[in-house]
A and B are shown apart, each in its own frame.
Chain A
């Protein structure tokens, strides 16, 4: 997307930004050298590596936040680095945690013919189905992958449908249908329970009605639909509040790291 006219940097502004970047880099390196001096001069490989790791992590964190000023080459570089590291880490972990123990060691590095035979009996078909998925890379010869997909879909449908009905429908319906009066409960508890049950009932019915499109929402139906919207809005508000909390928590995590790990402030 082209930048807005005001976002396009003039040459003067570019110079100011470069100078600011150099100053910030100098401050960052100075602060890193000062606060991480113990680790860097520890003389041990582990200590030095840890200090360098903290400095790099702090630098990358600050570069990521530079996006809040505006998009810049440092941010782009770190963004791509993140994707690359994630992919590389994923590839290595997939090899060590899945392919090597599940395929290579039992089949290729099988200690005996007997072990190979039993490994092939148990793992042969799944491994073959896995390889058949790789035929998707060819348009002409992709047909074997359909068998793998058919088995996967059949398995998940067979397992998933009854489980989904039980967990997400029957259990939830069961929880929504509760007696208003609990035997032996105090008057206050009964009063609160009745209120809760009525709110659950009104909320469930009105929201379900709001998503019922076979009838035009007018007259009394419009009122019910409006009540449904209110319940939905409250739900969206709660979700938004929790989302703000989550995002702030991530920022707090980074601030905590910068203050206590990078700048070595003593923890309270």
Chain B
């Protein structure tokens, strides 16, 4: 089929198409770079879905335990790392105890860095084991969640650094998932609707907020409507909203102008391509 298409297109036309394709690709990074180089600022208004997660965390008493399931790896770092840092900052600011775990072992090094750097930069007095815990990874997916439903220290007998979790100050009021005050699942695929909602919050009854890549966000709206999740931080836009809410604009906020410019560029391309297609079809009809 494509070969037939190629044979019907003249060499000059094919050359022109290849050239156009390369120009489009070359222009995109330029369009993205311009706002960075010109330092254009385009702060947005946080959406209600993002605000809901922020207010849920704000409503927790100091000392409450917030479970972070960071189910992403460096491939999704651009979207999910900023919202992780913003939510961790909020936890440290409000004296909440973040417990960090993952179902994606490929991101473990990144999660460790995010947690340690945020703690060091934003709350240097916070100590691992006392104010926060990095549980790390356990194989098993849904089984790990069910096991945590029985006992968190049973599912993770040691933390990431090899310390025994039983008796840790940050976990002293937490036996199982039923004792978790809030869970924030920041995921690049599958673990929110595939694991944490059905096997976690629906079963053990703790509130859950979802942070996800933009690709996943439309699939999660039905769960927000059914109140199975309290809110959604969707993609870089959601991360920027969260940074604004926390009062610490950072990477995601500074990227919003670039995102808007790129969207305008794509919208322009879609319009031009549609007009071109419309004109081409019309001229064919005339022929």
| A267 / chain B contacts, CB cutoff of 8 Å | 254
A171 and B228: CB pair below 8 A?
Answer: yes
Are A175 and B222 interface neighbours, CB within 8 A? yes
In the complex, A175 Cα to B22 Cα: how many Å?
47
The interface residues of chain B lying within 8 Å CB-to-CB of A252 are 32, 78, 236, 255, 258-259, 262
Q: Does B280 contact A (CB under 8 A)?
A: no
**Residues of chain A with a CB closer than 8 A to B93's CB:** none
B197 CB within 8 Å of chain A: yes
A57 to chain B, nearest CB (A): 10
Complexed CA–CA distance, A243 and B234 (Å): 11
The total of chain B residues at the interface (CB under 8 A) is: 57
Q: Tell whether A174 pairs with B236 under 8 Å between CB atoms, given A166-B198, A235-B218, A252-B32.
A: no
Contact flags (1/0) for B196-239 with A, using CB distance below 8 Å?
Answer: 01110011000000000111011000100111100000111100
Contact (Cβ within 8 A) B36 A256: yes
* Contact of A243 with B214 at beta-carbon distance under 8 Å, contacts A167-B198, A175-B227, A252-B236 already known: yes
With A4-B14, A171-B226, A255-B29 in contact, is A245–B236 under 8 Å at CB? yes
CB of A24, distance to nearest CB on chain B (Å)? 14
Q: Which residues in chain A, 157-171, are within 8 Å of chain B measured between CB atoms?
A: 159-160, 163-164, 166-168, 171
Size of A's binding interface in residues, CB under 8 A: 49
Residues of B within 8 A of A245 (CB): 214, 235-237, 259, 263
Q: Assess the A255–B33 pair: CB atoms within 8 A.
A: yes
Contact B79 A97 (CB under 8 A): no
- Interface of chain B, helix or strand or loop or mixed? helix
Residues B259 and A255 in contact, CB atoms below 8 Å apart: no
Total residue contacts A-B, CB cutoff 8 A: 138
Q: Residues of A contacting B138 with CB < 8 Å?
A: 97-98
Which residue in B37, B139, B203, B255 is a CB contact (below 8 Å) of A249? B255
The answer to the question of A250 belonging to the interface, with a C-beta cut-off of 8 Å to chain B, is: yes
Cα distance A259–B222 when bound, in Å? Answer: 38
- Decide yes or no: A6 and B11 within 8 Å by CB, A167-B197, A244-B263, A245-B237 being known contacts: yes
Query: For chain A, what secondary structure do more than half of its interface residues adopt (helix, strand, loop), or is it mixed?
Result: helix
**A253–B254 CA distance with the chains assembled, in angstroms:** 11
Cβ–Cβ < 8 Å partners of B286 in chain A: none
Is B25 in contact with chain A by the CB < 8 A criterion? yes
A5 interfacial contact with B, CB 8 Å: yes
In this assembly, does B126 line the interface, its C-beta being within 8 Å of a C-beta of chain A? Answer: no
Chain A window 224-249, contacts with chain B (Cβ cutoff 8 Å), 1 for yes, 0 for no: 00000000000100110011111011
Question: Are B213 and A246 interface neighbours, CB within 8 A?
Answer: yes
Q: If A175-B226, A239-B218 touch, does A268 touch B254 (CB 8 Å cutoff)?
A: yes
Question: Is the Cβ of A256 less than 8 Å from the Cβ of B251?
Answer: yes
The yes or no answer to B274 lying at the interface (CB within 8 A) is: no
Question: B: which residues have CB within 8 A of A?
Answer: 6, 11, 14-15, 18, 22, 25-26, 28-29, 32-33, 36-37, 39, 41, 76-79, 105-106, 108, 136-139, 142, 146, 158, 197-199, 202-203, 213-215, 217-218, 222, 225-228, 234-237, 251, 254-255, 258-259, 262-263, 266
| Residues of A that sit less than 8 Å from B by CB | 4-7, 65, 68-69, 86, 89-90, 93-94, 97-98, 101-102, 156, 159-160, 163-164, 166-168, 171-172, 174-175, 235, 238-239, 242-246, 248-256, 259, 265, 267-268
29 pairs, CB–CB < 8 Å, chain A vs chain B? A5-B11, A7-B18, A90-B106, A94-B139, A97-B108, A97-B137, A98-B105, A156-B142, A159-B199, A160-B198, A163-B203, A167-B198, A167-B228, A171-B202, A174-B226, A175-B227, A235-B218, A239-B215, A243-B214, A244-B263, A246-B79, A246-B213, A246-B235, A248-B263, A253-B77, A255-B32, A256-B78, A259-B36, A267-B254
The 9 closest A-B pairs by CB, nearest first: A253-B78, A175-B226, A246-B214, A249-B236, A167-B198, A68-B25, A245-B214, A248-B262, A98-B139
